[in-house]
Amino acid sequence: MTKRILITDVPMTAADVILVAQAELGTLPAVIDGLVADGYTLSNVATGIIVTVASSVVVPALTVSPSTSTPALGDVVTLTFNESPDTVTVIGDGEIIPTSGSGVVYTFIAYTSGPTSISATKEGYTSATASIAVGTIAPDAPRLVRSYDMPSRVAGRVPAGFTCTGLSLITTGDLSGYWLAADDGRLVEGDSSIYVPAVHILTPDLSTILRTISVGNSTHSAQGVAFDGSDGTFWVALSASGYIRHYTLEGVEITEDAINVRSVSGLTAWNPNALAYIPSLDQLWCASSAGKVVRRFYCSAVEAAAAGSRHVANSGITIAATGTNTDNSPDQFHWDGSTLFYSMGANASNGAVYRVPNALAQAPGATNTAILTWTLPGATAIEGIHYDPASHTLWSNNDRGYHNSGNAANKNQGLRFLVPAI
């Protein structure tokens, strides 16, 4: 005996079909024979009853090739659909990017190792999936895997985005995974625009400014920024003002914690620039915009008062870099609890990241040879950095738009690299 049920204009999933068939067969169907021209055919082997459940809406036959792949970390996988999907979703850590104009060809970049899947829909159906098993091998050389145009602080700004300097990841609280990015505020080098220093809270993909916090005035730049996980606040180096200031993520300055670097004997000409927070000590690493001496400062005004200075006595170490751009001062810092990383570069050439292992154990006043760790292709105006060794990922701000020289192709961007393991 054959029964046919027509459900007009109601797209059905397999689960919908089973429910309809169950009502007709009195039990769950033993076999789903699959798609027919306009629906599903099901049968109950025990009774011999066959039910065709149909809809006037045809289920799309969306397919993708390859349906399985095993790329290495950072490799690009090209996925081709038989027709244009409505949505494509990544389940895992990676990025799916449509190829311009095609509608059916996408590229996928894996950012971390492990299983990842791609799910595509058409007319409401999950109609095509791809399984991707990403390998764990780090690249042999730094690889730029994605450039993100910075969102504009003000609509219509030219060049677009903002003059991005320091970078720090928020690691606790409701905004964990978001970024702090400092903004010099000027437009283009040499155009006489004024400083408009700020710190922006950016979404994890750098696409949106969640909040802008003004942090100074028109006399100085905002440079290094450091998230303070002890209380969910941040510190920012305000360069030519001589100050490091302390703010909540809501933008309220904690005025009693302001650090006047130039009040320290011997530092009256310092422009605080590179900055990193040291959780184990509740202190800050700081370097000036000129020179290669790195010093530490107390975050706690109480500790500073007990010590008689905001400067941690005998904390200065000198960095002597070898490799590329050796004449430049450290630009921005990243601290991982043991190693002090810093960016260094000359505009229009690839920037570099150096490291000083066991930085806290270095003898006061010692000169330490920093290790050239990575030279980064495309980081032609390198600024703030963040390194995640687990995923072999380095993030970098790149304010090439500020160093525009009349070239619209120079942009203010966030860059994502895969880098060799240390």
Residue 117's domain is classified under what CATH number? Answer: 2.60.40
* pLDDT given for residue 29 in this prediction: 47
* pLDDT given for residue 14 in this prediction: 55
Last-in-domain residue among 10, 27, 55: 55
Taking 3-state DSSP, the helix, strand and coil percentages for the chain, each rounded to the nearest 5, stand at 5, 45, 50
| Three-state DSSP state, 25 | helix
Q: Where are the beta strands (DSSP E) in 269-411?
A: 272-278, 283-288, 293-298, 317-321, 333-335, 340-344, 352-356, 367-375, 382-388, 393-399
Last-in-domain residue among 134, 155, 174: 134
Last-in-domain residue among 17, 36, 55: 55
**Together in a domain, 107 and 252:** no
**Together in a domain, 92 and 194:** no
**Together in a domain, 381 and 348:** yes
The residue with tokens 């969306």 is 62
| Single pTM value for the model | 0.78
Angstrom distance (rounded) from CA 103 to CA 118: 16
How many Cβ atoms are within 10 Å of 34's Cβ, its own excluded? 9
Angstrom distance (rounded) from CA 188 to CA 190: 6
* pLDDT given for residue 37 in this prediction: 37
* pLDDT given for residue 325 in this prediction: 59
* pLDDT given for residue 136 in this prediction: 66
Task: Give the residue among 389, 371, 277, 260 at the shortest CA–CA distance from 320.
Answer: 371
* pLDDT given for residue 15 in this prediction: 59
In tens digits, what is the pLDDT along the chain, a chain of 422 residues? 344 444 444 455 555 656 666 665 555 444 444 434 344 555 554 555 555 555 444 556 677 888 888 887 777 788 888 888 888 888 877 788 888 777 888 888 877 777 788 888 876 666 678 888 877 667 788 989 889 999 999 888 989 999 999 999 999 999 999 999 999 999 999 888 999 999 999 999 999 999 999 998 999 999 999 999 999 999 999 999 999 999 999 999 998 899 999 999 889 999 999 999 999 999 999 999 988 889 999 999 999 999 999 999 989 888 877 665 566 678 999 999 999 999 998 788 899 999 999 999 988 888 887 889 999 999 999 999 999 998 889 999 999 999 987 787 899 999 999 999 88
Q: How many CA atoms lie within 13 A of 20 on its CB side?
A: 24
| Number of structural domains in the chain | 3
**Together in a domain, 248 and 394:** yes
**Together in a domain, 43 and 70:** no
The residue with tokens 């996408």 is 106
**Together in a domain, 148 and 271:** yes
| Encoded tokens for 130 | 């791809």
**Together in a domain, 20 and 168:** no
**Together in a domain, 258 and 374:** yes
Residue 322: phi, psi to the nearest 5? -125, 155
**Together in a domain, 347 and 247:** yes
* pLDDT given for residue 173 in this prediction: 96
Task: Give the residue among 13, 29, 11 at the shortest CA–CA distance from 3.
Answer: 29
**Together in a domain, 314 and 408:** yes
Q: Which residues pair with 245 in a beta bridge?
A: 236
**Together in a domain, 187 and 154:** yes
What range does the domain containing 24 cover?
2-55
The residue with tokens 């797209």 is 11
Angstrom distance (rounded) from CA 339 to CA 373: 12
* pLDDT given for residue 324 in this prediction: 59
**CATH label of the domain that carries residue 291:** 2.115.10
**Together in a domain, 96 and 188:** no
Angstrom distance (rounded) from CA 129 to CA 105: 14
